[in-house]
Amino acid sequence: MQWPDLQAFAEVSEELSFGRAAERLHLSPSAVVRRIQRLERDLGQRLLERSTVHVALTPAGAALAARLPVLTDHWQQVIRDVRDAPGSTPRLRLGLIELCSRRMAEHIAAGMPERQLDWLTDDAAELSAMLRRGDLDMALLAAFPGEPLDVPAPLHAVTVVHEPIWIMIGRAHRLGDADLLDMAQLAAESWVISPRSQSPFQWEARILADYPQATVVPTTFIAGRQLVDSGRAVAFASALAHSLPPYRVVPLRGLAGSAARHVYLAWNPTLAGGQLPNRVLALVRGLYRAQARRSPAYWDWICRHPTSFPGIADGTG
């Protein structure tokens, strides 16, 4: 038997849907079917009854599904025992969303010199799936406005920040001197939004769908920045982005929905236990605090909204 086949069966037995299981595994439905068929051949038992309208567990499938949690715990214990064997260097397998990858990885590695840090970047959905599969110990994730946190049991999670969505506006723009902008002031503007391949695209498009007078400008990153710098368009921005001579980054209010991105640390407690999550969380918050202090306007915002920045405004994180 192969472990990926058992993981595929675990998802199908929980969802009772090849399509939903495939989404959670980031595979095609046909790939999930092949894994289940291979597992059935290895066991010599039919595990699922399938039709065009439903999926059900056979008695053999129900027996395997009931034992999978214990099997998973044993497998993860084997991984821990091998990784923590005397004389071996402890490892931390960390996933990072792209908005904070290399600098964050270097900061965590420097703060935990006794561990070997293996890190990678991907979107939040794939990193969460890797956590569930046991391919990662921890991950720094983000949920954009309107998106739920992707932390099904047994994963744990803790908030890093509720990072406000700000606006990048050229100093040449008619509102370029404003220290605070309302969405109503920008409802008829031209907007440069993220490419379709990037995570922010969907929520940026959803926000602007509520403002029919807004014009979305399809363009490249460089051309988009030129439009913003010249005052001919505006763009959503991270509050950590720094104002530079051609443009400013200022707070935005007046959105119908949430105007904050929820950045959170998630981990598998069977693989990252003890004080490890707290140590990593303190390092993540410490770097975020240092970056935020570089922007007086953002640091003032944090100090005035401390509940959105636990352990950052008060320096306890």
pLDDT score, position 83: 65
Average pLDDT over residues 111-138: 89
What is the extent of the structural domain holding 99? 91-161+261-308
What the block records as the tokens of 96 is: 């990072």
Tell me, yes or no, whether 52 and 37 share the same domain.
yes
Q: In terms of domains, do 182 and 234 share one?
A: yes
Model confidence band, residue 119 (pLDDT cutoffs 50, 70, 90): very high
Query: 1-10, 62-71, 159-168: which range is least confident on average?
Result: 1-10
Residues 77 and 42 in one domain: yes
**More confident position, 145 or 247:** 247
- CA distance readout (Å), 45 to 2, 35, 40, 64: 15, 14, 5, 11
> How many structural domains are present in the chain?
3
At 99 the pLDDT is 61
Question: Model's pTM, two decimal places?
Answer: 0.70
Return the pLDDT at 258: 63
Q: Of 237, 253, 269, which one is at a domain's C-terminal end?
A: 253
Query: Would you state the pLDDT for residue 167?
Result: 92
Helix axes 59-83, 3-15, angle to 10 degrees: 130
**Shared domain check, 70 and 14:** yes
- Parallel, antiparallel, or unpaired: how do β-strands 215-216 and 48-50 relate? unpaired
Note whether 41 and 170 are same-domain residues.
no
pLDDT of residue 266: 96
Whether the predicted pLDDT of 85 surpasses 70: no
171 and 246 share a domain? Answer: yes
Question: 170-202 pLDDT, tens per residue?
Answer: 999 999 999 889 999 999 999 999 888 777 888
* H or E element that contains 73: helix 59-83
Q: Is residue 315 in some structural domain?
A: no
Residues 6+ apart with CB under 8 A from 229: 170, 172, 246, 247
Return the pLDDT at 117.
Answer: 94
Which contiguous run of DSSP H or E holds residue 251?
strand 247-253
